[in-house]
C-alpha cells in the first residue's frame, strides 16, 4: 500500500521488508541513521524492545509502551505509535460511539496496548480486560490512568454477565495464528448493536465467525492496518496519504 501511495504522488521512494533477528535489533535501527532512510515501521516481535533504540519517543509512544513507526529527522530517530490512530479510525469508520459505554478487550500483549490507548481516548466509561493469564492483564491495566479497567480471566466471558452491556468486544490475541481453539464466549449475551472487532486481517478467525453466527456486526484488522499506514506515510513524507489508493492496494 505504501508503494502504491508513493507512485500515486510521484514520489521516488520505496517500502521494503527486512526480517530482523531480536539480537540484531539495535544494529538494524542504527542502520536507518547510517543509510539515511526516511523511516521505518517496526512490527512483531520488536515493537516494545525497539523503544530502547530510539533517540526520542513521542508522548503517545511512551504512554503505549510500543513503537511501530520511526521517523528519521536528520539522524535523530523519533519513535511514534500510529497503531493507536489506526484503531481509533477503525471505530470512527464503523460509526461506533463509545462515550459512556462499556468495551471489552481480549488479550494483554503488544497489540492490546494500542487498543487500550485508543479506548482510553474514546470516552468509554469502563473497559474490561480479559486474558488467559490475568496477571499479565493486571500489569497492563496498572499502566493506564484516566479510565476504569477491570481485569478478568478469559474464561469469565463464557458467562453472560460481563458481556451484557458491551458496545465493543475486541480480540487482540494471536490464538488464531497458532491454530489454537478460541475459548467459548457468550456472544449472544451482548446487546444486538455490539461490534466485534479482530485485529487480524486476511485471516478468518473463529472469534468473528461465532460473532456473525450470533448475528452481531463484525470487523477485521484491515481498517487498522490501512490507517496506521496512512498516518506513518504522512509522518515520513509530510504529504497527505492517498487513502483510497492505499485501500485499493490492500484489497
Q: Work out how close the CB of 207 gets to ligand ATR at its nearest, in angstroms, rounded to a whole number.
A: 10
Q: Which of 33, 136, 217, 247 binds ligand ATR (CB under 6 A)?
A: 136
Rounded to 5°, the CA angle 192-95-248 comes to 115
Q: Are strands 217-219 and 102-106 parallel, antiparallel or unpaired?
A: unpaired
Q: Which of 148, 175, 93 shows the shortest CA–CA distance to 129?
A: 148
Element (H, E) at 8: helix 2-8
CB 89 within 8 A of CB 223: yes
46, 47, 63, 113: the catalytic one is 47
Q: Work out how close the CB of 238 gets to ligand ATR at its nearest, in angstroms, rounded to a whole number.
A: 30
Q: Which of 1, 70, 98, 111 binds ligand ATR (CB under 6 A)?
A: 111
φ/ψ bin of 237: left (φ > 0), alpha (ψ from -120 to 50), beta (otherwise): alpha
Site track for ligand ATR across 38-77, x = CB under 6 A: ------x---------------------------------
Binding status of residue 131 toward ligand ATR by CB under 6 A: yes
For 47-64, the DSSP string reads TTGGGGG-SEE-HHHHHH
Site track for ligand ATR across 24-43, x = CB under 6 A: --------------------
List of residues contacting ligand ATR (CB under 6 A): 44, 107-112, 131-133, 136, 154, 172-175, 178, 180
Amino acid at each position: 500500500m505504501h508503494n502504491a501511495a508513493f507512485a500515486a504522488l510521484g514520489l521516488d521512494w520505496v517500502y521494503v521488508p527486512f526480517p530482523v533477528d531480536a539480537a540484531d535489533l539495535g544494529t538494524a535501527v542504527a542502520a536507518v541513521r547510517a543509510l539515511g532512510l526516511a523511516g521505518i515501521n517496526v512490527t512483531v516481535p520488536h515493537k516494545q524492545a525497539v523503544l530502547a533504540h530510539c533517540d526520542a519517543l513521542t508522548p503517545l509512544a511512551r504512554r503505549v509502551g510500543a513503537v511501530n513507526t520511526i521517523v528519521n529527522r536528520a539522524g535523530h530517530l523519533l519513535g511514534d505509535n500510529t497503531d493507536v490512530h489506526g484503531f481509533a479510525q477503525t471505530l470512527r469508520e464503523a460509526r461506533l460511539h463509545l462515550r459512556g459505554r462499556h468495551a471489552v478487550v481480549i488479550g494483554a500483549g503488544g497489540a492490546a496496548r494500542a487498543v487500550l490507548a485508543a479506548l482510553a481516548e474514546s470516552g468509554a466509561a469502563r473497559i474490561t480486560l480479559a486474558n488467559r493469564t490475568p496477571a499479565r492483564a493486571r500489569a497492563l491495566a496498572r499502566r493506564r490512568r484516566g479510565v476504569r479497567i477491570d481485569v478478568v480471566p478469559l474464561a469469565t466471558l463464557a458467562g453472560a454477565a460481563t458481556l451484557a452491556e458491551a458496545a465493543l468486544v475486541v480480540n487482540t490475541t494471536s490464538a488464531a495464528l497458532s491454530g489454537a481453539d478460541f475459548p467459548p464466549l457468550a456472544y449472544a449475551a451482548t446487546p444486538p448493536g455490539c461490534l466485534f472487532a479482530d485485529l487480524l486481517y486476511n485471516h478468518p478467525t473463529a472469534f468473528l465467525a461465532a460473532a456473525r453466527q450470533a448475528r452481531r456486526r463484525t470487523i477485521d484488522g484491515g481498517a487498522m492496518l490501512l490507517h496506521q499506514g496512512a498516518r506513518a506515510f504522512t509522518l515520513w513524507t509530510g504529504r497527505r496519504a492517498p487513502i483510497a489508493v492505499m485501500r485499493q492496494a490492500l484489497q
